Amino acid sequence: MAKSLPTEDDIPSSEPARSIKIITVGGGKGGIGKTLVSSSLAIALAEAGTRVVLVDADLGGANVHTVMGIHTPEKTLHDFISRKVKALSDVIIPSPIHGLQLICGAAGSIGMANMEYADKLKLIRHFRRLLAEFVIVDIGAGMSLNEVDLFNAGDIQIVVANPEPTSIQECYNFIKVAIFRRLRREFADTKEVLEVLDRSKDPSHVHDRRLLTEIGEQVKQVDLREGVRFFRLINAFTPKLILNRVHDYRETLEGLALQIATQDLLRLRLDFWGYMSYDPYIAKAVRAMRPGEILAGDSENRDRFLKMVQQYLLGQNVHYRSIGTRTILPIVDQQPTEKKEGRICSQECPLWQNCELQEGGLPCRMPDHMYRERLGGNLLTAGK
């Protein structure tokens, strides 16, 4: 059993808290190119002049070091998890790419498999203390709690899939497992909501019994405030899709199909960030351990990844538009059961101060009878 990790506060930090973005890269299946996509994002970000740490959290099949041209890393994440070293920064090693550092994995180590949920969260908090602007976490294959919890802990969550039915299906399942896990964690202390979630559970993860929005409506029936929280959570969960091993532009339709399925069947927004073409040169670069050639100078993948990170991660307007993505509006409140008398939430509202449903500028979520009831109460208190 792994010992619990030191809390971040045990470790002296030479730096004040900085803004750092954790990007987690998952997607279920092995061999679809999660490591290649993570590495390409990391290389593109480093080339754009940012400080990046690429972390290999795939403990079953760690290979970031190989892709990055390192035979046997002298220090790995496992040294930190097993408390051989005290600080996560002690296991950072340089990479051949300027601006990009690595935390390698040790294949076959079991450290993470034994990690408690609290320790996983601690690990992410340690990531946040690294001296970098971006930390990219390459997550292992599979969708056990280890992978899913790490994936969910990212500020930006990227899923990778190949344009073939099995991979698309697996990726869809991964997203579904991830949102259900997140909801269960968020409502861990609310028995009533857990019961609603349990009732809609589909053990095979294949057939969707119920839309998330329908589950949200049920939660609202049980507890209005928790229902609103539920909708906020599903609105905020917006993974990004990068399709890999695309032979032909038309194959991006598979990515669109996944986007539509996620949106229509789960009511989750999946942003389609783009794709990586199949390029035999990539396998050659990996075999020759020459990471600098993964995004080779004249390749279309290079152009695409540089633009992708500029547009989506660095907020620069480079007029990169991936594909014909279809984006849905945030799923705010669903199917109002009662007419809300056309009220718009604003500071002008007499209930503004004490309203847990506050959402300025949007249509009021409070049922009319409750509004009137509370308004009465408010006037009474105001008159005291």
For binding to ligand ADP (CB under 6 A), which residues are involved? 30-36, 63, 141, 244-245, 276, 278-279, 282-283, 286
Q: How many CB atoms lie within 10 A of CB 13?
A: 12
**Cβ at position 5, least distance to ligand ADP in Å:** 25
Give min distance, CB of 326 to Mg ion, in A: 29
Q: What angle in degrees, to the nearest 10, is found between the helix axes of 191-199 and 212-222?
A: 140
Q: How far is the CB of 31 from ligand ADP (least distance, A)?
A: 5
Specify the DSSP class assigned to residue 93: E
* Distance, CA of 384 to CA of 380 (rounded, Å): 7
Query: In this structure, which amino acid lies at residue 211?
Result: L
**Binding residues vs Mg ion (CB under 5 A):** 34-35, 58
Return the number of the residue (149 or 279) whose C-beta is nearest ligand ADP: 279
Q: Residue 55 or 228: which CB sits closer to ligand ADP?
A: 55
345 binds, among ligand ADP, Mg ion, none (CB under 5 to 8 A by kind): none
| Token pair of 257 as six digits | 């199909």
Q: Choosing among Mg ion, ligand ADP, none, which partner's interface includes residue 104 (Cβ < 5 to 8 Å by kind)?
A: none
CB of 123 to ligand ADP, least distance (A): 20
Helix residue ranges per DSSP H, the chain: 34-47, 64-67, 77-81, 117-128, 145-152, 165-186, 191-199, 212-222, 224-236, 252-261, 280-287, 300-308, 368-383
Residue among 56 and 217 whose Cβ is closer to Mg ion: 56
24's contact among Mg ion, ligand ADP, none, with CB below 5 to 8 A by partner kind, is: none
Nearer to Mg ion, 34 or 126 (CB): 34
The minimum distance between CB 147 and Mg ion, in angstroms, equals 11
| Minimal distance, residue 259 CB to ligand ADP, in Å | 20
Q: Which does 157 bind (CB under 5 to 8 A by kind): ligand ADP, Mg ion, none?
A: none
Question: If 0-12 CB within 10 Å is exposed, 13-18 middle and 19+ buried, where does residue 360 land?
Answer: exposed
Buried b (16+ CB within 10 A) or exposed e, 278-301: bbeebeebbeeeebebbbeeebeb
Q: Which is nearer to ligand ADP, 76 or 244 (CB)?
A: 244
